[in-house]
Amino acid sequence: MEFLDIYHFSTQMFDFLNSPEWRAWPFNSGYGEKILPAIARLVFVSAIMGVILLFLRLLFGPGGPLRDKEMDEEARIETEQERAEVEELFAKGEISELDYKARMKHLKD
């Protein structure tokens, strides 16, 4: 008896979800629809996330107006220390000129 009630409830629920109002819901499971609307929703949500990430990158990225200035100073000091270490290794002859140029190019501002 209970199984029959669950069956009727689930069939009514699926009929409700298959109605035209719910067919266009952007995050549904794809019940009763083709693949193109699902792909279009995925592209749309990806575009929104991309815009949000770009906006945050502009605000908090290097040179951004809301970026903590201490982070830039710490990065500059660390880069200077790494340059000094590479120059010291090159002066001692522990690394080749090619390796020296590659490392200095990597540490370029």
Summarised one tens digit per residue, pLDDT across range 49-74 is 999 999 999 998 888 888 888 877 88
For residue 74, the enclosing domain spans 68-109
Q: Which single residue is written with the structure tokens 């290097």?
A: 62
Whether 30 shows a pLDDT value over 80: the answer reads: no
Domain membership flag for residue 8:
no
Q: Establish if 94 belongs to a structural domain.
A: yes
Quick check: 100 and 86 in contact, CB under 8 A?
yes
Indicate the number of domains in the chain.
Answer: 1
Residue 108 lies in a domain: yes
**Amino acid in position 95:** I
